[in-house]
Structure 1
Amino acid sequence: MKLTVDNVSRAFGGVYAVRDVSLTVPSGELRAIIGPNGAGKSTLFALIGGQLAADHGTVALDGQPVERLPAHRRARHGIGVVFQAARTFPGLTALENVMVGAHATTRAGFLTAALRLPRHHREERLIRERALTCLDRTGLADWAHRPAEELPLGQQRALQLARALCGRPRLLLLDEPASGLRAAEREHLATLITGLRAEGLTILLVEHDVAFVMRLADRVTVLDLGRVIAEGTPAEVRADPRVIAAYLGPSTEPPTPAPAPASAPAPAEGAGP
């Protein structure tokens, strides 16, 4: 799925969080969004996902404008979202939490479900099988029947990803998915994201961990004070003076010490002035 964001802005109390942002993410690309705190990354994320409405500008999926659609309608168009905060449905098992993610792809209507007709049973069985596959893929197969709120933080983050995948997205929005994860969990996440990209899924990744971003992204867009200040490959962005000044900072490598000046030879004993 191709994502096109054109001249999008959103202000809060007269202060722009995102201002005139445009970007195009081709189908199958992993695009990272980076920038300092307050740069507008999460706001842009919400404007694409439909959690916020833009003041002006357009958001299009495969050329079809969706900026006027609410989040659940955008999900039906193929957007899957993994939020920064781990969100679960208390009282439901991990499996049931993941099955909720298929809501955008269900075909049985309210009456069919209420009357428990055969079509509803068939669809529920297929969704359950799909959810189990997503749990297995995210390393949560052994947690399937545990209450979701009992899962540790790392597993709750993985649960969100499994839930999003259960909806069969064509565009996956990841808002700081590596935040708070241990090294082994980050490595597993990186491997999973790489696999999803290889399957042709378009991915938009908002992340503070620059090293994590640079190893995964095809291209990187950098925001500062709500505006795009740079865009390019990870190597191009890392070397951009505007990005270094606004976000990455100068190299932290210690300077090479200058060689000590050679000391003058001591005068020979008895030598006069």
Structure 2
Amino acid sequence: MRLVVDRVSRAFGGVYAVRDVSLTVEPGELRAVIGPNGAGKSTLFALIGGQLAANAGRIEVDGRPVRRLPAHRRARLGIGVVFQAARIFTGMTAAENVMVGAHATTRAGFLAGALRLPAHHRDEREIRSRALACLDRTGLADWADRPAEELPLGQQRALQLARALCARPRLLLLDEPASGLRAGERESLAALIGDLRAEGLTMLLVEHDVGFVMRLADQVTVLDLGRVIASGPPAAIRTDPAVIAAYLGTAPAGRPEGSHP
């Protein structure tokens, strides 16, 4: 899936969190978005995922405008979302949490489910099989039938990723997935993201950890104060003067001296 973000803006009370941001994620590419705190990364993520509405600009997937579509409609088009904060459904097992992710793509429909028709049961069996496979892939196979709220934080984050993968996304949005993870968990996550990229899944990774990004990304877009200040391959971003200035607090172009990521 190809994602195009063209001059997208979002203001809150007259203050722009994102202003005239443009980027393109080609099919099979992993594009990272980085920047200091308050740069607008999470706002941009929510504008693409549909959790926030843009004030201006264009957002397209495979040439189809989605800026005015709600989040659930974007999910049906193949956009999967993994949020920064772990979001789980309490009172449900880990497997049931993951199964929720696939229900937007079921074939049987509401009527079959309400009447408990055979098509509904077939869908449920298929979805559970997919959910168990996704739990296994994210290292959670042993948690399948445990209450989701019993999972430690790192495993709750992995559960979100398993849920997104269960929907078989064509574009996966990841908002700081490594935040709060221990070193071993970060390594496992990096390996899984690398595998997904190798399989051709298009991904947009919003991340604060620059080292994590530089290991994984094909292309990097850097935001500061809601605007794009640099874009290119990781090697070029590492040495870009504007990026260095923004992170070290020496930027002359509108960023207060001494501010840090």
What is the TM-score when the length of structure 1 is the normalising length? 0.90
Residue in structure 1 matched with residue 172 of structure 2 by the alignment? 172
- 2:67 equivalent to 1:62: no
- Look up the match of 1:143: 143
In the TM superposition, residue 226 of structure 1 has moved relative to its aligned partner by 0.4
* Aligned-residue offset at 1:70: 0.1
**Which residue does the alignment assign to 1:267?**
none
**Equivalence for 2:81:** 81
Structure 2 match to 1:52: 52
Counterpart in 1 of 2:254? none
Pairwise CA distance, 1:103: 1.9
1:255 alignment partner in structure 2: none
Ranges in structure 2 where 5+ consecutive residues have no aligned partner: 251-261
Q: Which residue of 2 aligns with 1:38?
A: 38
Task: Give the aligned partner of residue 97 of structure 2.
Answer: 97
Which residue is 1:236 aligned to? 236
Q: Which amino acid is 2:223 matched to?
A: L
**Corresponding residue of 1:15:** 15
- The change in CA–CA distance for 1:248 and 1:235 in structure 2 (over 3 A counts) is farther
Deviation, 1:249, is 6.2
> Does 2:182 match 1:199?
no
Matches within 5 A, 1:205-224: 205-224=205-224
Provide the rounded CA distance (Å) in 2 between the counterparts of 1:249 and 1:56.
Answer: 30
Q: Distance in 1 between matches of 2:25 and 2:138?
A: 25
Q: Which amino acid aligns with 2:245?
A: A
The one-letter code sitting in structure 2 at the alignment partner of 1:196 is L
Instruction: State the 1:111 CA deviation.
Output: 1.6
Query: Aligned residue for 1:115?
Result: 115
Q: CA deviation at 1:109?
A: 1.9
How far apart in 2 are the matches of 1:104 and 1:4? 23
Which amino acid in 2 is paired with 1:146? R
Match of 2:255 in 1: none
Equivalent AA in structure 2 for residue 88 of structure 1: I
Aligned equivalent of 1:3: 3
Structure 2 CA distance, aligned partners of 1:84 and 1:217?
A: 18
Counterpart secondary structure, 1:189: helix
> Which position in structure 1 is the counterpart of 2:259?
none
- 1:261 is matched with none
Q: Which runs of 4+ in 1 moved over 4 A?
A: none
Deviation, structure 1 residue 85: 0.2
Structure-2 residue corresponding to 1:152? 152
Q: Unaligned stretches of 5+ in structure 1?
A: 251-273
Q: How far apart are residue 248 of structure 1 and its match?
A: 5.1
| CA apart distance, 1:43 | 0.3
Task: Kindly report the root-mean-square deviation, in angstroms, between the aligned alpha carbons of the 2 structures.
Answer: 0.9
Letter in 1 for 2:10: R
Q: 2:181 maps to which residue? A: 181
Partner of 1:128: 128
Code of the aligned partner of 2:135: L
Task: Say how many residue pairs are matched.
Answer: 250
Within 1, Cα distance between the matches of 2:47 and 2:126?
32
Aligned-partner residue type, residue 126 of structure 1: E
Aligned partners of 1:99, 1:249: CA distance in 2, in Å? 45
Distance 1:38 1:47 in 2: 15
Q: TM-score with structure 2 length normalisation?
A: 0.94
Q: Deviations over 1:117-139 (max 9, x none)?
A: 11000011000000000000000
Shift of 1:107: 1.6
For 2:170 and 2:247, locate their aligned partners in 1 and report how far apart those are by CA, in whole Å.
Answer: 31
The separation in 2 between residues aligned to 1:184 and 1:248, in whole angstroms, is 28
Residue identity matched to 2:237: V
Distance in 1 separating the partners of 2:57 and 2:104: 26
Q: What secondary structure sits across from 1:27 in the alignment?
A: coil
Structure of larger gyration radius: 1
Deviations 1:95-114 (A, max 9, x none): 00000000221121222111
Aligned mates of 2:109, 2:63 — CA distance in 1: 29
SS in 2 for 1:36: coil
State the SS of the aligned residue for 2:162: helix
